Amino acid sequence: MTVLILRALGIGDLCAATPALRALRRAYARDRLVLAAPGWLAPLAALTGALDDLTELGSLDDPIPRAERRPRLAVNLHGKGPQSHRLLLATEPGDLLAYRCPTANWDDGPDHRDAEHEVRRWCRLLSWAGLAVDPTDLTLLPPLVAAPVDAATIVHPGAKDPGRRWAPERFATVARALADHGHDVVVTGEAADAPAATRIAEHSGARVLAGRTRVDDLAALVAGARLVICGDTGLAHLATAYGTPSVVLFAHMDPALWGPPESDRHQVIRHPEAADPLAAITPREVLAAVDRALAA
C-alpha cells in the first residue's frame, strides 16, 4: 500500500516537514511512503529517513505520475489548497489528509492558520489525525557524500526573493573580517548567484562554490561547517537540521513563522521597524551575532 505525500517545494520546505514525514513513517511503517517533489531534492529527501521513494513533480501545474494513482492515503503537506488538494484528489486516493478547504470541496480537516510556524503547521495537521509527532525532530541523517570543504564558514548571499538578499558588499565585509580571524570562508549559491559570489570573493579572498554544488554536496558542506551566514532561505534550515551555528538575516518575514528554533546557536537578526529591514542590518551587527553563535 502507498501513502502519497505532496511537498513540491524547496530545501527549507523539506527540512521544515521532516517531523511530519517521520510521524507518517511511524504510523505507516509497513506502507510505501512516496514524496511528490522536484527530482533534484531526492538526495535530501533520503536524509529524512522517512521515505521510500520520490516521484518527480516540478510544480502544482504538473500532474502526479499515473504510477502513483489510487494510493491508500494522500497527505497534503504542501499548502492550504485549493490547487494542491485538487491535485491529490485527482489521484483517487482512499483518503486525503489535508486542511479544510471549502473551495476544493474538502471539509474533513482542521482549519488552516496563516500565523503559525511552518514546522508546527504540519505537525498540527497530523496530530489532528491522531498521529504522534515531535516538532523538534528536525535532525537529518548524516550525508552520504564527503563535504567539498571541511569546517568551512559558509556565506550564502542568494535567495529566490530579491527582497531577502543582503548586499554583496556587506557580505564581503563580514567574510573579510572572518577570514582575517582564521575562518576558511566559502561562498555558496546557485549558478545565478555566481556574480554576487565572485564579488564577495574578490573583496574577501573567499572561495566560490556557487553553482558548483549539488544538494547532497550542500548538505555535507553544512553538516561539517564551522558556521553558516545567510538570509531567510533553505540553507538556514539545513544549519538547523545539522546543529551548525548560524546567523540568519531576515527581511519582512517574521522568524516566528519560518525562523530556526530558539537557541543561542542560531542567531536571528531582524529590524521589522525599518523601511528596508535588510539594509538596516550592519556588518558589525552580524559579526557580533557570529561571536554569540560560536560561543553557544
Same domain, 157 and 103: no
CA angle 124, 59, 105 (to 5 degrees): 55
Q: What separation in angstroms does the CA of 199 have from each of 76, 107, 172, 230, 283?
A: 41, 52, 8, 16, 16
Average pLDDT over residues 161-175: 93
Question: For residue 238, with 0-12 CB atoms within 10 Å meaning exposed, 13-18 middle and 19 or more buried, which class applies?
Answer: buried
Question: What's the pTM?
Answer: 0.95
Q: Give the pLDDT score at 63.
A: 95
| 281 belongs to a structural domain | yes
Average pLDDT over residues 279-284: 97
Q: Give the pLDDT score at 163.
A: 83
| 147 belongs to a structural domain | no
> pLDDT tens, 181-229?
999 999 999 999 999 999 999 999 999 999 999 999 999 999 999 999 9
> pLDDT tens, 85-118?
999 999 999 999 999 999 999 999 999 999 999 9
| 261 belongs to a structural domain | yes
pLDDT-above-90 percentage for the chain: 96
pLDDT of 159 higher than 90: no
| 110 belongs to a structural domain | yes
Short-list 189, 202, 7, CA closest to 87: 7
Q: Give the pLDDT score at 161.
A: 82
Same domain, 160 and 278: yes
> pLDDT tens, 2-44?
999 999 999 999 999 999 999 999 999 999 999 999 999 999 9
Q: Give the pLDDT score at 158.
A: 86
pLDDT-above-70 percentage for the chain: 100
Q: How does the average pLDDT of the chain come out, rounded?
A: 96
Same domain, 272 and 183: yes
Cell of 39: 527530482
| 140 belongs to a structural domain | no
Same domain, 190 and 60: no
CATH number for the domain including 122? 3.40.50.2000
| 146 belongs to a structural domain | no
Asked whether 133 and 20 are in contact (CB, 8 A), the reply is yes
Confidence of residue 60 (pLDDT cuts 50, 70, 90): very high
pLDDT of 152 higher than 90: yes
Asked whether 251 and 163 are in contact (CB, 8 A), the reply is yes
Average pLDDT over residues 267-280: 95
Same domain, 235 and 181: yes
| 217 belongs to a structural domain | yes
